[in-house]
Chains A and B, each alone.
Chain A
């Protein structure tokens, strides 16, 4: 029984939008079942989230919904029509909208309107009606005015909306979304979710495959897959609060992870699952209304969700020592670099009045950076943040020496150009650049080009691979293209780490990865930087041991890490400094805790504060309190309680 059927009232037989009955499927005879006896229904206007690990059958499920694949046994019914019936195939395809991860691969037309019309053309819809429906749907997805725009000129979010428009124009009764938000930032994700919600209100059934547990919580019901079988089907919240999700390789809803960090050892059932619940519990704890004991406890305990990995890497969870975050003169210094703070370190790279203009003198002229002053200091971990097209990639490439500024001066440790191997840059989606037959060979490319051979090369490759958590014996001989996306990403990372750069620049290292792989990657990076960076940071105090993770070949000097991300929580966790860009200018720069708790600045830059900062704000914290991650939230709650 689906919710829709239950609410439809007795006597009325409502045909569900989608019905799987004992569906099994295998791709080849000699392969195991991709789906195994799957039963579920999606009612009209219902939002069903589908979750599961890699290879659990999620994408197979999506392709069964519109007859792209046919079940080996069992049946798939859309509006009561069987997908195995050849006569029903085209009515079904026009009623089922399928949307995949990468909108780029779903856009056929050479202009926005041509693409939206594609499905209508295929169905033989008369031209007058086509014109009307294309115009209507472009209005709905907010692309009116872009009719003649070529798709490659659209932003990522616009492309996703165009792909959605191409599907919606067929007026589907069922929408199947295969990780539709994995390529989007928080704002884009929210936009898509709001849209999906609006569609369900109009009676469209939605199947949303997702890796984001926060998103899965928004669904009416949740289906969890494990090895092609149904592991859970029911209320989304209960899936988490009853602990069923711990049996599967899934992430934890962000609010739940934060709650675990702040509340400590609380029975799972008492743990808040959403942000609202967390605020409620923490707010209640203060007024002593018998909520779970708000025992602020030091985080970093190993038990966060089902991942089995510590939520915060030792040494990095510290982020910025409290004296730095709170004792500094307040107010962000736009464009001014770091005013002589308590730790005036050695600059690794300095920009003064740097501007970058693309396609200068043509009609396509575009400003990438404008009058940027910035100093990146040795041993720091800096996160570059900003909305889409704010100049993040341009800034990183300029700092890495790969892009020549139109104006201004750059210096690397006082030199006009970096030494060979001094700076390493990892581009977005670096797994695309792998081209050798084996992982070992690919990691060896860069050092080889610098003349490293023999035993030294062996050592370099081994060291780089272990730095990204890949075992040389196991992964070395394997073909890169047979690995999972997260593994390929790590191979590509090792390919740059093998240069052992003093400054490592990463453009959106976590983009497009599922939350678990992303988490793993960020932890690796944090650990890599922490090896020596910790030593540099606590210059005045204890010298970090630094020996266990020394540079390859015994090179000296601490590591400096520079990364861009659109995940504020990630930034709050790994970075000690933050640079915020807006329209190619520096909007703010400073210690991470201070900048990330400055709501006004973030809002101006089109960014959302980290979850912990939002929760703290709702509980009455101010920017001065500089709460941006779990540990800070615990401390703040602890300090506040006595009053």
Chain B
């Protein structure tokens, strides 16, 4: 079972003792959502500046290494660059550089930069959330936030439990996948996807066994959960208590001031 050589990094939560780590997950979830809203409600660069400065303070407080932030941005870098380029070329206005029928305009550069900055900050802020919040705490926070929606039929408890079980079994399945890759390679299988015509040959030796394993596990897990008296959300108590403390109060006030400042500054100057 304990196949060595697992090289796939799992999870991106970095445990720490910072004030940001210590916040209630609900505070952080709400703040991240509010930050996203603020990002798209602001007008002008002054708002961006205030939000960026605030985000930098949060990141500094959290003590998250820059390399992790970079890693969370990297996969979407192409999207950011594309956004910038398309905006720069497509916005009508005073040309800066002309390329045949296309030209980069001053307004385009400004719009592109504005949009790209905001998208980038959205990615960084959500990375800041997951880097400083344990996945378990995150699911708890989500369950709480979805709680009010229970009345309209949203199964908040079940959603949270599904997320917990997924978190619990992803490492297990990754390890099994890792073992399978090695085992099939030992049989001489070519698992690279170089030749699209041989896609099935590369994928089936992994997918079929992984499905069989997962279904068996799911079956056994259901029996084990029932044996441990699981019967849905009814009459359940919680081991983890979400507790918002003084720090959360302080953080909430700071956040409100920050967002209001960012939103109003553009409007005031514009007026």
Contact = CB atoms under 8 A, between A and B. Distances in A.
Contact of B223 (A63, A107, A131, A134): A63
Nearest to A389: B2
B229 interface: yes
Interface string B211-231: 011001100110111111111
A393 interface: yes
B104 to A, nearest CB: 42
Contacts of A499: 187-188
Interface residues of A, number: 79
A276 interface: no
Given A90-B229, A150-B171, A446 B187 contact: yes
Given A110-B168, A114-B136, A152-B175, A433 B5 contact: no
B164 interface: yes
A88 to B, nearest CB: 13
Given A122-B228, A170-B228, A432-B213, A397 B5 contact: yes
Q: Determine the main DSSP class of B at the interface with A.
A: helix
A16 to B, nearest CB: 20
B270 interface: no
Contacts of A421: 188
B4 A394 contact: yes
Given A107-B168, A425-B186, A427-B183, A121 B220 contact: no
B227 to A, nearest CB: 4
B236 A105 contact: no
Interface string B138-151: 01000000000000
B205 interface: yes
Interface in A126-171: 126-127, 130-131, 134, 150-152, 155-156, 166-167, 170
Nearest to B7: A359
A496 B183 CA distance: 10
Nearest to B222: A105
Contacts of B165: 108
Given A98-B227, A130-B239, A427-B3, A110 B217 contact: no
Contact of A104 (B164, B172, B186, B238): B172
Contacts of B24: none
Given A106-B224, A432-B209, A358 B186 contact: no
Top-3 shortest CB links A-B: A117-B239, A105-B220, A435-B208
Interface of B: 1-7, 9, 135-136, 139, 164-165, 167-168, 171-172, 175-176, 179-180, 182-190, 204-205, 208-209, 212-213, 216-217, 220-221, 223-231, 235-241
Interface of A: 63, 66, 68, 90, 93-94, 96-98, 100, 102, 104-111, 113-114, 117-127, 130-131, 134, 150-152, 155-156, 166-167, 170, 183, 358-359, 362, 364, 368, 388-389, 391, 393-394, 397, 400, 402-403, 420-421, 424-430, 432-435, 445-446, 449-450, 481, 495-496, 499
